[in-house]
Structure 1
Amino acid sequence: MTKNVRVRFAPSPTGPLHIGGVRTALFNYLFAKKHNGTFVLRIEDTDQTRYVEGAEQYIIDALNWCGMPFDEGPTEATHSTSTGNYGPYRQSERKTLYKKYADMLITSGNAYYAFDTADELDFHRKDHEAKGKTFIYNWHNRLKLKNSLSLSAEETQAKIESGEDYVIRFKSPQDETLYLKDIIRGDIKIDTNILDDKVLFKSDGMPTYHLANIVDDHLMEITHVIRGEEWLPSLALHYQLYQAFGWEAPEFAHLPLILKPTGKGKLSKRDGDKMGFPVFPLEWTDPKTNEVSRGYKEDGYFPEAMVNFLAFLGWNPGTEQEIFSMDQLIEAFDLKKVNKSGARFDPDKTKWFNHHYMQEQSDAILAEQFKPIVDENLNVIASEAEQSANNDIDVQYIALVIGLIKERATFVHDFWDLSHFFFTAPTAYDEKASKKAFKDDTADILKKVKDLVLHIDDFTVTALQKDIKGWITSNDIGFGKVMMPLRLALVGALQGPDVFDIMFMIGKNETVKRIDNVIKVL
């Protein structure tokens, strides 16, 4: 590429960032880094009626959590300071710019003033509907409506000077064919007769998305616009605006939709609520309703897992490889390998990715995350038993436990169910397992195992295996007759890691105590 690549992610601060938006940010980030370019965050907050407090900081926090920090953008949600030489990076702080460009389009004849009221336009829509037609404000009726094309220059000026509300509309051409290009979708042909004259500047003195978007992309020297498929219908207008200004247009790439798990329709928050998975990167509390929406971070997903599964929603490297670090994604990413068709969201696949990244995490880091869960559960158990909890569990001990059980875990919050017996003795025994493990001679066998355990001085996994397995073999007892009730005594069920690992971890005294208890109860 001859130009210095500059891309932008331009969300609106109207609420939490949907994972579709995160995927758009990711593809922009990957493309920028692949070409040693610049990743810009621009906050498109021209519609102040939909602005939500805290949403901008949420967007920044989400990008940072995913490992996609912007190169240029607003540095803090509460200040105007920005990084880079193209700021400010909030459209609300750039609003003085846009009127000048709207006026330029008026002067060049590519736009016009429109004075139609909301009630008048509503009348035209309903009139068309009654006749089985669709009302479109464009070349076929604009000379019959109230605008500077149908009024004289004097009438237009008088209305403006009197303070009458107006908007500025783009004058879409008649009987022309637009030939557009999209990196992902190829050549696109558009008949201008079907286009409406979009509003570029509103009566409240703010630009619409279309004008602000084009002006900002030009002034920020954006070279590639990578955005969602929902903006594809706007491509014709945006190309025409570049032509009207006499500016070179960036290259466009419209990403496919992220579809529901069923494959039908766009993924929504409702789908996540119904099927039990988040659709936002971070937890979000609505400032108006206090409704809390789940986030991938709080649900226990690793950012690396989220980035990895999002990359595969619409993109394919063309190989069998599925696990990619961020650096590997940057190296492999190519917009031409992005699919046109929608990408079906698979909640089970997201868990698969998280399970993989769980195994790659160090036990020490996972132990720090798991310790509060251990403390909380021990407090609950102590409260129910009306005694004080032992929350002085060494984090190194927790790390050793995690090393034994994490292969069966997908999330940190899975650890407690897989490991509670390492921290507290069972208070009940699985009924089905008890019937299977305990026979008439089981209590006598366990008493002999207890005596054997008491006399093992070198209480290590190796010694336990050697002595107990040797005793079973020499006494010609079936392994199941010993190991099943022993596991039940230690765990409370017929599950968990190797029995000898459990005995070593909880120690000799606790092992003996648990054997005594299962004999007493069962």
Structure 2
Amino acid sequence: MTDANRPVRTRFAPSPTGSLHIGGLRMALWAWLFARHHGGQFILRIEDTDQKRYDPNALQTLLEALRWVGVDWDEGPEVGGPYGPYVQSERLALYQEWAKWLVDNDHAYYCYCSSERLEQVNKEKQAAGIPPGYDRRCRYASPDELAAFKAEAEADGRSPVIRLKMPREGKTLFPDLVRGEVEFENESIQDAVLLKGDGFPTYHLAVVVDDHFMRISHVMRGIEWLPSAPLHMQLWKAFGWEMPQYAHLPVMLNPNGKGKISKRKPPVDAKGNVLPVMVHDYIKGGYLAPALANLLVGIGWNFGDEVEVFSMDEARERFNDFSRINPSNSAFPMEKLEWINGLYIREKMTPDALADALRAPLEAAGLNVDMETLRKVAPLVQTRIKTLNDVVDMAGFFFKPEFTPPPVEKLIQKKMDAASTKRALEACIPVIEAVDPFTADKLLGAFTELGQELGLNNSQMFGVLRVAVSGQAISTPTFETMEIVGREETLRRVRLAIGLVS
């Protein structure tokens, strides 16, 4: 699995074009876990050579997303390291040097063709039923022809690109840690551009140069990059450098199993709700970092022993190779995430920790949070919410500056009418006044007895009270709510309710 003489060094190399995609986060987690299992290094490298899509704010959101789930890096932005800089746009001279080396050593060539010519070539090929791609005019041009192409480009103010000379015959056999040996026909592979006219490298050149000089031992990337594998292998051979071991990993599909999860076409659930795609959407959505990490690591990777809930420390102990990775793509299970998130809230958080975590979504909803009250509320919602944001609908009423009385129809319970609802509420007043101490247990006993006297079942009796005191049909438990609200405020709200049904 690993070369004992070569230290394990993995990397995650996102492009700063926006918030981190959950598929990218899974890739980072897998690479990080593998490095940590082997006592190796995990490197963060920023691939910003696509200047058209570059977002100056993206780097910070990338770093925030990784730190949120506990991924740390040994080398990279804000950390430094011996093989930096770790931002590709700061390494242009290195790429240009090695692109020229390839030309000088007959592994690459200058191409002077204009974009208009390339477009015309593809149109002609399409019309002839031939696969699109460069026709290698500059590769096979005579010196005189090449001089003419160069002069024409210079007259137009165009700089040449550098293309790789791919072998035209034979096969490239690519060893992959997940898929075994993959075979490619060389004649089907293009002479890819390595260095663009603006001096920036393409992904193909930059990734090989960086992986070499950063001493990367294992490259983990999505299956969508497998068609580029023979091109990269030929680059490693051309340079004469030791190639890392590669693992082309499965991608995550939409929850319905159709198509890769994409931020351009966000997935929707069975009810038509748009599902989050970016990590920051999950942070804002009230999901816990350990729960999301747990889910992502387990999509396509088998922890073993039929265990579905595990910590990253536990995953690290088992992430020793790639044998547990299913090469097939997997659907993203949104419902499972909600289950895992709810489980983490219920079982892996103390009430105080939960109270601290619930403050942010309540304040984001415009509510003024009193922490003393929230610490009383947290245990009540802990077993009832799946995300932190659920607290707003369930218990946000505790923190509203003014109580909002409920609509009359919410007060009236099943098989009751306005008259019976009013009668029940009026009967509540002396009970509320008399219960001592004013605690949930005492209130439960007193109102269970009152319901029996009125011929109401618990669902009716407690439901009337719950809506009267909380203003909503679904809330924290009725009598715990009354205890937190207090006797006087409870009386006031019940009297308001009486007025509503009169």
TM class by smaller structure? 0.7 to 0.9
Give the aligned residue type for 1:150: A
Deviation at 1:43, TM superposition (A): 1.2
Distance 1:225 1:452, change over 3 A: same
Distance 1:157 1:362, change over 3 A: farther
Kindly indicate whether the alpha-carbon contact (under 8 Å) linking 2:112 and 2:149 is maintained by their aligned counterparts in 1: no
Q: Aligned residue for 2:497?
A: 518
- Counterpart check, 1:198 vs 2:198: no
Distance 1:430 1:375, change over 3 A: farther
Q: Aligned residue for 1:288?
A: none
What's the secondary structure of 1:178's corresponding residue?
Answer: strand
Deviation at 1:236, TM superposition (A): 0.3
Q: Aligned residue for 2:412?
A: 434
- Counterpart check, 1:343 vs 2:330: yes
Distance 1:214 1:472, change over 3 A: closer
Distance 1:371 1:442, change over 3 A: same
Kindly indicate whether the alpha-carbon contact (under 8 Å) linking 1:430 and 1:492 is maintained by their aligned counterparts in 2: no
What's the secondary structure of 1:119's corresponding residue?
Answer: helix
- Counterpart check, 1:107 vs 2:95: no
- Counterpart check, 1:225 vs 2:225: no
What's the secondary structure of 1:511's corresponding residue?
Answer: helix
Distance 1:196 1:518, change over 3 A: closer
Of the structure 1 ranges 418-427 and 100-109, higher mean CA displacement relative to structure 2 is found in 418-427
In the alignment, the residues of structure 2 paired with residue 299 and residue 127 of structure 1 have an alpha-carbon distance, to the nearest angstrom, of 50
Q: Aligned residue for 1:330?
A: 316
Of the structure 1 ranges 22-31 and 317-326, higher mean CA displacement relative to structure 2 is found in 317-326
Of the structure 1 ranges 55-64 and 227-236, higher mean CA displacement relative to structure 2 is found in 55-64
Q: 1:69 aligns with which of 67, 72, 87?
A: 72
Give the aligned residue type for 2:335: D
Give the aligned residue type for 1:514: R
Deviation at 1:345, TM superposition (A): 1.7
Distance 1:496 1:153, change over 3 A: same
Q: 2:9 aligns with which of 6, 9, 28?
A: 6
- Counterpart check, 1:243 vs 2:254: no
In the alignment, the residues of structure 1 paired with residue 382 and residue 375 of structure 2 have an alpha-carbon distance, to the nearest angstrom, of 10
Of the structure 1 ranges 25-34 and 504-513, higher mean CA displacement relative to structure 2 is found in 504-513
Kindly indicate whether the alpha-carbon contact (under 8 Å) linking 2:405 and 2:496 is maintained by their aligned counterparts in 1: no
Deviations 1:217-272 (A, max 9, x none): 01100000001111111100111111111111100011112112221111112224
Q: Aligned residue for 2:434?
A: 455
What's the secondary structure of 1:40's corresponding residue?
Answer: strand
1:82-481 aligned at under 5 Å gives the runs 83-137=80-134, 142=136, 145-147=137-139, 149-152=140-143, 159=150, 165-269=159-263, 270-272=265-267, 275-282=273-280, 295-333=281-319, 334-359=321-346, 360-371=348-359, 391=368, 394-420=370-396, 422=398, 425=403, 427-431=405-409, 433-434=411-412, 436=414, 437=416, 443=422, 446-469=425-448, 479-480=457-458
Distance 1:421 1:55, change over 3 A: closer
Deviation at 1:419, TM superposition (A): 2.2
Deviation at 1:339, TM superposition (A): 1.6
What's the secondary structure of 1:486's corresponding residue?
Answer: helix
In the alignment, the residues of structure 2 paired with residue 422 and residue 155 of structure 1 have an alpha-carbon distance, to the nearest angstrom, of 78
What's the secondary structure of 2:282's corresponding residue?
Answer: coil
Deviations 1:118-149 (A, max 9, x none): 33333322222222222444xxx64xx234x4
In the alignment, the residues of structure 2 paired with residue 302 and residue 448 of structure 1 have an alpha-carbon distance, to the nearest angstrom, of 44
Compute the TM-score of the two structures, normalised by the length of structure 1.
0.83
Distance 1:71 1:478, change over 3 A: same
What's the secondary structure of 2:190's corresponding residue?
Answer: coil
In the alignment, the residues of structure 1 paired with residue 385 and residue 365 of structure 2 have an alpha-carbon distance, to the nearest angstrom, of 18
What's the secondary structure of 1:514's corresponding residue?
Answer: helix
Distance 1:115 1:490, change over 3 A: closer
Deviation at 1:448, TM superposition (A): 4.8
In the alignment, the residues of structure 1 paired with residue 120 and residue 395 of structure 2 have an alpha-carbon distance, to the nearest angstrom, of 68
In the alignment, the residues of structure 2 paired with residue 243 and residue 375 of structure 1 have an alpha-carbon distance, to the nearest angstrom, of 57
Kindly indicate whether the alpha-carbon contact (under 8 Å) linking 1:434 and 1:488 is maintained by their aligned counterparts in 2: no
Distance 1:452 1:39, change over 3 A: same
Distance 1:421 1:189, change over 3 A: closer
Aligned-residue sequence identity (percent) comes to: 38
Root-mean-square deviation over aligned CA pairs: 3.1
Deviations 1:423-446 (A, max 9, x none): 565512451651534575665565
Of the structure 1 ranges 186-195 and 344-353, higher mean CA displacement relative to structure 2 is found in 344-353
In the alignment, the residues of structure 2 paired with residue 212 and residue 190 of structure 1 have an alpha-carbon distance, to the nearest angstrom, of 22
Kindly indicate whether the alpha-carbon contact (under 8 Å) linking 1:259 and 1:345 is maintained by their aligned counterparts in 2: yes
What's the secondary structure of 1:122's corresponding residue?
Answer: helix
Q: Would you say how many aligned residue pairs link Structure 1 and Structure 2?
A: 485
Q: Aligned residue for 2:469?
A: 490
Of the structure 1 ranges 356-365 and 303-312, higher mean CA displacement relative to structure 2 is found in 356-365
Of the structure 1 ranges 229-238 and 458-467, higher mean CA displacement relative to structure 2 is found in 458-467
Deviations 1:320-362 (A, max 9, x none): 2111212122123342211211111232222222222222333
Of the structure 1 ranges 183-192 and 366-375, higher mean CA displacement relative to structure 2 is found in 366-375
Distance 1:471 1:42, change over 3 A: closer
In the alignment, the residues of structure 1 paired with residue 331 and residue 364 of structure 2 have an alpha-carbon distance, to the nearest angstrom, of 38
Of the structure 1 ranges 314-323 and 463-472, higher mean CA displacement relative to structure 2 is found in 463-472
Deviation at 1:490, TM superposition (A): 2.6
Deviation at 1:313, TM superposition (A): 2.5
Kindly indicate whether the alpha-carbon contact (under 8 Å) linking 1:301 and 1:354 is maintained by their aligned counterparts in 2: yes
Deviation at 1:483, TM superposition (A): 3.8
Distance 1:188 1:205, change over 3 A: same
What's the secondary structure of 1:83's corresponding residue?
Answer: coil
In the alignment, the residues of structure 1 paired with residue 118 and residue 474 of structure 2 have an alpha-carbon distance, to the nearest angstrom, of 70
What's the secondary structure of 1:146's corresponding residue?
Answer: coil
What's the secondary structure of 1:252's corresponding residue?
Answer: strand
Deviation at 1:168, TM superposition (A): 2.0
What's the secondary structure of 1:464's corresponding residue?
Answer: helix
Deviation at 1:455, TM superposition (A): 2.9
Distance 1:463 1:312, change over 3 A: same
Deviation at 1:479, TM superposition (A): 4.6
Deviation at 1:515, TM superposition (A): 3.3
Kindly indicate whether the alpha-carbon contact (under 8 Å) linking 1:430 and 1:493 is maintained by their aligned counterparts in 2: no
